[in-house]
Amino acid sequence: MNPWGLRLAGTVLLGLTACGRPVPVDPPLVCGNEKQPEVSRLAVRGLDVGSLSQCGPTADFTPVNSYQGEFADVLDREEAVALIDGRCTGTLIEASAGPVVITAGHCVGIGDRPLLVFNFEDNPDGEQLVTEGTVIEQSLDPDYALIQLDVLPAVTPVPLTAQATERLAIIQHPRGKPKAIAEGRYLDACARQVYYVDLDTLVGSSGAGIFTRQGYLLGIHTDGDCDEKGGGANRGWTAEAIAEASEYLHSTDIAER
Protein backbone atom coordinates (compact mmCIF):
# COMPACT_ATOMS: atom_id res chain seq x y z
CA MET A 1 0.00 0.00 0.00
CA ASN A 2 1.31 3.47 -0.89
CA PRO A 3 1.85 6.13 1.82
CA TRP A 4 -1.44 7.87 1.01
CA GLY A 5 -3.29 4.58 1.36
CA LEU A 6 -1.60 3.84 4.69
CA ARG A 7 -2.47 7.27 6.01
CA LEU A 8 -6.07 7.00 4.89
CA ALA A 9 -6.53 3.49 6.22
CA GLY A 10 -4.90 4.40 9.50
CA THR A 11 -7.35 7.20 10.18
CA VAL A 12 -10.61 5.44 9.37
CA LEU A 13 -12.72 5.48 12.54
CA LEU A 14 -15.54 3.03 13.16
CA GLY A 15 -18.59 4.39 14.95
CA LEU A 16 -21.53 3.10 16.85
CA THR A 17 -24.24 5.72 16.35
CA ALA A 18 -26.93 5.48 13.72
CA CYS A 19 -30.39 6.75 12.93
CA GLY A 20 -32.91 4.68 11.04
CA ARG A 21 -36.49 4.29 9.96
CA PRO A 22 -39.23 4.72 10.94
CA VAL A 23 -39.68 7.82 13.10
CA PRO A 24 -43.10 7.63 14.70
CA VAL A 25 -42.68 10.46 17.18
CA ASP A 26 -41.15 13.89 16.66
CA PRO A 27 -38.94 15.27 19.44
CA PRO A 28 -41.03 17.46 21.77
CA LEU A 29 -40.33 21.18 21.95
CA VAL A 30 -37.33 21.09 19.62
CA CYS A 31 -37.69 24.76 18.82
CA GLY A 32 -40.07 25.68 21.63
CA ASN A 33 -37.42 25.40 24.30
CA GLU A 34 -35.55 28.63 24.94
CA LYS A 35 -32.45 26.73 25.99
CA GLN A 36 -30.08 26.23 23.07
CA PRO A 37 -29.24 22.56 22.42
CA GLU A 38 -25.92 21.53 23.89
CA VAL A 39 -23.33 20.13 21.52
CA SER A 40 -21.31 17.34 23.06
CA ARG A 41 -17.75 18.54 23.43
CA LEU A 42 -16.68 14.91 23.45
CA ALA A 43 -17.25 15.17 19.72
CA VAL A 44 -13.72 16.39 19.03
CA ARG A 45 -11.52 15.46 16.07
CA GLY A 46 -14.19 13.22 14.59
CA LEU A 47 -15.08 11.36 17.80
CA ASP A 48 -18.79 12.04 17.57
CA VAL A 49 -19.90 10.22 20.70
CA GLY A 50 -22.73 12.48 21.82
CA SER A 51 -25.28 9.75 21.03
CA LEU A 52 -24.55 6.03 21.00
CA SER A 53 -27.96 4.67 20.05
CA GLN A 54 -29.60 4.48 16.66
CA CYS A 55 -32.94 6.02 15.71
CA GLY A 56 -35.11 3.12 14.80
CA PRO A 57 -34.29 -0.49 13.96
CA THR A 58 -32.08 0.07 10.92
CA ALA A 59 -29.57 2.45 9.40
CA ASP A 60 -30.57 3.15 5.81
CA PHE A 61 -27.72 4.17 3.53
CA THR A 62 -27.51 3.73 -0.23
CA PRO A 63 -24.22 3.86 -2.18
CA VAL A 64 -24.38 6.99 -4.32
CA ASN A 65 -23.90 5.19 -7.62
CA SER A 66 -26.80 2.81 -7.05
CA TYR A 67 -29.28 5.31 -5.58
CA GLN A 68 -32.54 5.79 -7.51
CA GLY A 69 -34.75 7.59 -4.98
CA GLU A 70 -36.41 10.97 -4.91
CA PHE A 71 -33.07 12.80 -4.56
CA ALA A 72 -31.64 11.34 -7.77
CA ASP A 73 -31.13 14.84 -9.20
CA VAL A 74 -29.17 15.86 -6.09
CA LEU A 75 -26.56 13.24 -6.96
CA ASP A 76 -25.22 15.71 -9.53
CA ARG A 77 -23.59 17.26 -6.45
CA GLU A 78 -22.02 14.11 -5.03
CA GLU A 79 -18.66 14.66 -6.73
CA ALA A 80 -18.15 17.68 -4.46
CA VAL A 81 -18.25 15.46 -1.35
CA ALA A 82 -14.97 14.22 0.15
CA LEU A 83 -13.72 11.95 2.91
CA ILE A 84 -11.55 13.93 5.34
CA ASP A 85 -8.73 12.11 7.16
CA GLY A 86 -10.78 8.93 7.00
CA ARG A 87 -13.06 10.09 9.80
CA CYS A 88 -15.27 13.00 8.65
CA THR A 89 -17.06 14.26 5.56
CA GLY A 90 -16.81 17.61 3.79
CA THR A 91 -18.30 19.35 0.76
CA LEU A 92 -16.70 21.72 -1.72
CA ILE A 93 -18.90 24.82 -1.64
CA GLU A 94 -19.30 27.88 -3.80
CA ALA A 95 -18.02 31.15 -2.28
CA SER A 96 -17.27 34.60 -3.67
CA ALA A 97 -13.73 34.37 -2.26
CA GLY A 98 -13.18 31.03 -4.00
CA PRO A 99 -14.31 27.41 -3.47
CA VAL A 100 -13.53 25.83 -0.10
CA VAL A 101 -14.42 22.59 1.63
CA ILE A 102 -16.78 22.97 4.57
CA THR A 103 -16.90 20.42 7.39
CA ALA A 104 -17.49 20.24 11.15
CA GLY A 105 -15.21 22.21 13.43
CA HIS A 106 -14.78 19.24 15.77
CA CYS A 107 -13.14 17.30 12.92
CA VAL A 108 -10.05 19.50 12.50
CA GLY A 109 -8.05 22.30 14.11
CA ILE A 110 -7.00 25.65 12.74
CA GLY A 111 -3.86 25.33 10.62
CA ASP A 112 -4.25 21.54 10.27
CA ARG A 113 -3.33 19.87 6.98
CA PRO A 114 -6.02 17.19 6.51
CA LEU A 115 -6.04 14.62 3.73
CA LEU A 116 -9.11 14.73 1.47
CA VAL A 117 -10.26 12.03 -0.94
CA PHE A 118 -12.82 12.81 -3.64
CA ASN A 119 -14.66 10.00 -5.48
CA PHE A 120 -14.08 7.43 -2.76
CA GLU A 121 -17.15 5.35 -3.60
CA ASP A 122 -18.40 1.99 -4.79
CA ASN A 123 -18.28 1.66 -8.59
CA PRO A 124 -16.64 5.10 -8.92
CA ASP A 125 -17.83 7.22 -11.82
CA GLY A 126 -14.70 9.37 -11.92
CA GLU A 127 -11.01 9.45 -11.09
CA GLN A 128 -10.19 9.45 -7.39
CA LEU A 129 -8.44 12.64 -6.28
CA VAL A 130 -6.32 12.65 -3.13
CA THR A 131 -5.16 16.04 -2.00
CA GLU A 132 -4.34 18.03 1.11
CA GLY A 133 -5.64 21.34 2.30
CA THR A 134 -5.17 23.92 5.04
CA VAL A 135 -7.80 24.66 7.66
CA ILE A 136 -8.27 28.44 7.37
CA GLU A 137 -11.23 28.76 9.76
CA GLN A 138 -12.43 26.61 12.64
CA SER A 139 -15.07 27.06 15.33
CA LEU A 140 -17.13 24.98 17.73
CA ASP A 141 -19.98 27.50 18.03
CA PRO A 142 -21.10 27.29 15.29
CA ASP A 143 -19.42 23.93 14.73
CA TYR A 144 -17.74 24.36 11.35
CA ALA A 145 -14.38 24.55 9.57
CA LEU A 146 -13.24 25.71 6.14
CA ILE A 147 -10.43 23.96 4.26
CA GLN A 148 -8.56 25.57 1.37
CA LEU A 149 -7.40 22.82 -0.98
CA ASP A 150 -3.95 22.45 -2.51
CA VAL A 151 -5.57 21.03 -5.66
CA LEU A 152 -9.15 21.74 -6.66
CA PRO A 153 -11.07 18.77 -8.07
CA ALA A 154 -12.71 19.18 -11.47
CA VAL A 155 -16.19 19.38 -9.96
CA THR A 156 -18.82 22.07 -9.54
CA PRO A 157 -18.92 23.58 -6.01
CA VAL A 158 -22.26 23.38 -4.21
CA PRO A 159 -24.16 26.65 -3.64
CA LEU A 160 -25.38 27.57 -0.15
CA THR A 161 -29.02 28.24 0.66
CA ALA A 162 -31.22 29.40 3.51
CA GLN A 163 -34.38 27.80 2.09
CA ALA A 164 -35.28 24.40 3.55
CA THR A 165 -37.36 21.81 1.74
CA GLU A 166 -39.76 19.31 3.27
CA ARG A 167 -37.33 16.47 2.55
CA LEU A 168 -33.56 16.62 3.00
CA ALA A 169 -30.63 14.38 2.12
CA ILE A 170 -27.09 13.96 3.43
CA ILE A 171 -24.30 12.66 1.18
CA GLN A 172 -21.69 11.28 3.52
CA HIS A 173 -18.95 8.78 4.38
CA PRO A 174 -20.50 6.86 7.30
CA ARG A 175 -17.78 5.18 9.38
CA GLY A 176 -15.25 6.35 6.80
CA LYS A 177 -16.76 3.99 4.24
CA PRO A 178 -17.46 4.72 0.56
CA LYS A 179 -19.83 7.57 -0.14
CA ALA A 180 -23.51 6.99 0.56
CA ILE A 181 -26.74 8.95 0.68
CA ALA A 182 -29.47 8.98 3.32
CA GLU A 183 -32.71 10.93 3.24
CA GLY A 184 -35.26 12.12 5.76
CA ARG A 185 -37.69 14.83 6.78
CA TYR A 186 -36.99 18.42 7.71
CA LEU A 187 -38.33 19.08 11.20
CA ASP A 188 -37.50 22.65 12.22
CA ALA A 189 -34.79 25.29 12.57
CA CYS A 190 -33.96 27.45 15.56
CA ALA A 191 -30.98 28.69 17.58
CA ARG A 192 -28.96 28.66 14.33
CA GLN A 193 -29.44 24.91 13.95
CA VAL A 194 -31.53 22.74 11.63
CA TYR A 195 -33.26 19.55 12.80
CA TYR A 196 -34.24 16.52 10.72
CA VAL A 197 -35.80 13.15 11.48
CA ASP A 198 -35.42 9.68 10.01
CA LEU A 199 -32.18 10.80 8.34
CA ASP A 200 -29.39 8.35 9.08
CA THR A 201 -25.89 9.38 10.15
CA LEU A 202 -22.93 7.62 11.73
CA VAL A 203 -19.51 8.52 13.02
CA GLY A 204 -17.73 9.67 9.88
CA SER A 205 -20.80 11.64 8.77
CA SER A 206 -19.77 14.67 10.82
CA GLY A 207 -19.38 17.72 8.60
CA ALA A 208 -21.44 16.28 5.74
CA GLY A 209 -23.63 18.72 3.83
CA ILE A 210 -27.39 18.81 4.39
CA PHE A 211 -28.90 19.02 0.91
CA THR A 212 -32.27 20.38 -0.16
CA ARG A 213 -34.27 18.80 -2.98
CA GLN A 214 -32.76 21.36 -5.36
CA GLY A 215 -29.24 20.23 -4.48
CA TYR A 216 -28.24 23.27 -2.42
CA LEU A 217 -26.45 23.07 0.90
CA LEU A 218 -28.69 24.13 3.80
CA GLY A 219 -26.12 23.39 6.51
CA ILE A 220 -23.71 20.77 7.82
CA HIS A 221 -24.45 17.76 9.99
CA THR A 222 -22.77 17.80 13.42
CA ASP A 223 -24.84 15.95 16.03
CA GLY A 224 -27.18 13.01 16.55
CA ASP A 225 -29.89 12.69 19.22
CA CYS A 226 -31.90 9.62 18.31
CA ASP A 227 -33.14 6.54 20.13
CA GLU A 228 -33.75 2.97 19.05
CA LYS A 229 -37.52 3.41 19.16
CA GLY A 230 -37.38 6.02 16.43
CA GLY A 231 -37.65 9.15 18.56
CA GLY A 232 -35.35 12.14 18.60
CA ALA A 233 -33.72 14.08 15.79
CA ASN A 234 -30.34 14.67 14.23
CA ARG A 235 -29.15 18.21 13.74
CA GLY A 236 -26.55 20.47 12.21
CA TRP A 237 -25.62 24.13 11.87
CA THR A 238 -27.25 26.26 9.20
CA ALA A 239 -25.30 27.82 6.35
CA GLU A 240 -26.65 31.18 7.51
CA ALA A 241 -25.15 30.77 10.99
CA ILE A 242 -21.82 29.72 9.52
CA ALA A 243 -21.67 32.60 7.05
CA GLU A 244 -22.49 35.04 9.84
CA ALA A 245 -19.58 33.75 11.95
CA SER A 246 -17.12 33.41 9.07
CA GLU A 247 -14.62 35.96 7.81
CA TYR A 248 -14.21 34.03 4.55
CA LEU A 249 -17.88 33.51 3.72
CA HIS A 250 -20.36 36.35 3.31
CA SER A 251 -24.12 36.67 3.47
CA THR A 252 -24.10 37.26 -0.29
CA ASP A 253 -22.81 33.69 -0.71
CA ILE A 254 -26.26 32.51 0.39
CA ALA A 255 -28.86 33.12 -2.28
CA GLU A 256 -32.62 32.94 -1.99
CA ARG A 257 -33.23 29.71 -3.87
> At residue 14, does pLDDT exceed 70?
no
> At residue 83, does pLDDT exceed 90?
yes
Taking only the tens place, the pLDDT of each residue in 211-248 is 999 999 999 999 988 766 777 889 999 999 999 999 99
Q: What is the pLDDT of residue 198?
A: 86
Q: What is the pLDDT of residue 35?
A: 42
Taking only the tens place, the pLDDT of each residue in 23-74 is 344 555 467 654 444 443 334 444 444 433 366 678 789 999 999 999 998 9
| 221 CB-near residues (< 8 Å, 6+ apart) | 89, 104, 170, 172, 201, 205, 206, 207, 208, 209, 210, 234, 235, 236
Q: How far is CA 26 from CA 38, 80, 165, 211, 251, in A?
A: 19, 31, 17, 21, 31
> At residue 193, does pLDDT exceed 70?
yes
> At residue 22, does pLDDT exceed 80?
no
Residues in the chain: 257
Q: What is the pLDDT of residue 225?
A: 81
Tell me the pTM. Answer: 0.83
Ordered by start, the domain boundaries in the chain are: 16-255
The third-level CATH classification (topology) of the domain covering 16-255 is: Thrombin, subunit H (2.40.10)
Q: What is the pLDDT of residue 106?
A: 96
Look at strands 160-161 and 254-255 and give their pairing: parallel
| 4 CB-near residues (< 8 Å, 6+ apart) | 115, 130
